[in-house]
Structure 1
Amino acid sequence: MYIVTHTEATHHVENLVGGWYDSALTSKGTKDAQLVALALRKLIPTDEDSLLFSSDLLRARQTSEPIAEILGSTPVMDADLREQSYGAAEGTPPGTTPFAPPPAQGDRMRHRDGIQGSETRFEWAGRAYAALDRILTVESAHTIVVTHGGTATYLIAAWIGLPLEAAGHVKFKTSPGGISHLREDDFFHDRQVVTLNDHSHLN
């Protein structure tokens, strides 16, 4: 399985809160999406099947398009692969909406940040865990998931079997266009994080 973080989007360069704000890829993001597709083509043999899943937000869909074209796959859109909803803060400059960060200890997963319409980490991570469960029911030699930086953390956490309730402090650092390679071996069925946030194809 390959977890792909969508490439550079307009909210990155305009310094706006993302979340479900439906920003598009920048020109750099569009070029980098092509490079991601080429990198995956090198990793996935042409004679082996692949499945492609994507967040339904525009920046993820646009990242998935060249991947679909080069691999000959039709992307399956899944809203549960979206980034965390930041509610009323989406599309606004960071810091302009009052925000209460999660506590250092205690129930970080169910903490409410005070922003109208935002999700808790429990709601957000629960979506990602559920999405991975559905994805894993479909057998394929290779699976590609195009998602967002924050959601990638919870997909990886779910992959390695971290209980949802224990995910309050977990954070895997990713960057736009990064590819994380996950693999389950056929004998022991151990789940490996082979590479995390590889972005060498963007250099």
Structure 2
Amino acid sequence: MAVLHLVRHGESAWNLAGRVQGQSAEAGSLTARGLRQAAETAELLVRRPVSAIFSSDLPRARATADVIARALGLPVREDPALREQHLGHLEGRRFTDRLGDGTVQDEIDRLWREPWRRPEGGESIADLYERIHTTLDRYAAHDGELVLVAHGGPVRVATTSADPRLREPVPRVAVGNASVTTLGRSRCC
């Protein structure tokens, strides 16, 4: 059984600004606080027998992975499958911006309650769930402990007991910056 340490990236510039990041290339990298968070997470992981580090290719995740990699003395391999949910037209907007009868935050909350809905130009929670679980099954084929640096959405769908492909709402639980969620995962076949 593989042990997968899912790490959410440290605080980013758009986290601090209250903007929707998704897969936007403009979302930027880590703040000074985010770099400190990544270093604290690296200190936790250095005690583990980690054999490899994989990271989303988005700058905020890659910067977090680089800090962890330096502490563990391992290279980082990028995997675009670990990216955040593509949020289409919502990306770059502030959570408090007006949108229709509510706010951008209201629309994001609705996506989690109605996981088959796709934001214009983006992917649904069900799409994200399928992508992340397929990716985690692939990593389960590895032996030992792996660090997977990703984002809040992927960590949420990796740990939910709901199945959004069956139109079950997925709780939008808090996932802290640079937090570590450890999963034991068996090979599927």
TM-score by length of 2: 0.80
Change (3 A) 1:75 1:167: farther
1:41 counterpart letter in structure 2: V
Q: In the alignment, is residue 38 of structure 1 matched against residue 43 of structure 2?
A: yes
Residue equivalent to 2:29: 24
Residue deviations 1:7-37 (CA, integer Å, cap 9, x gap): 1000011111111123210011011111111
**Which blocks of at least 5 consecutive residues in structure 2 are unaligned?**
none
SS in 2 for 1:143: strand
Residue deviations 1:142-182 (CA, integer Å, cap 9, x gap): 1111111111012224xx7x656347323343110111122
Q: In the alignment, is residue 125 of structure 1 matched against residue 141 of structure 2?
A: no
Q: CA RMSD in A?
A: 2.3
Change (3 A) 1:70 1:135: same
How many Å separate the matches in 1 of 2:87 and 2:153?
12
Q: Do the aligned partners of 2:116 and 2:165 also contact (CA within 8 Å) in 1?
A: no
Q: In the alignment, is residue 111 of structure 1 matched against residue 117 of structure 2?
A: yes
Number of residue-to-residue matches in the alignment: 172
Residue equivalent to 2:181: 180
SS in 2 for 1:182: strand
How many Å separate the matches in 2 of 1:133 and 1:164?
17
Q: Which has the higher contact order (CA 8 A, sep 6+)?
A: 2
TM-score by length of 1: 0.75
Change (3 A) 1:64 1:49: closer
Q: State how 1:5-154 maps to structure 2 within 5 Å.
A: 5-21=8-24, 22-42=27-47, 44=48, 48-94=49-95, 95-98=97-100, 100=107, 101-102=110-111, 108-112=114-118, 115-139=119-143, 141-154=144-157
**Which blocks of at least 5 consecutive residues in structure 1 are unaligned?**
190-203
Residue deviations 1:107-164 (CA, integer Å, cap 9, x gap): x33223xx4212111211111111111111222x21111111111012224xx7x656
Change (3 A) 1:102 1:26: closer
Q: Percent identity?
A: 27
Q: Do the aligned partners of 2:7 and 2:147 also contact (CA within 8 Å) in 1?
A: yes
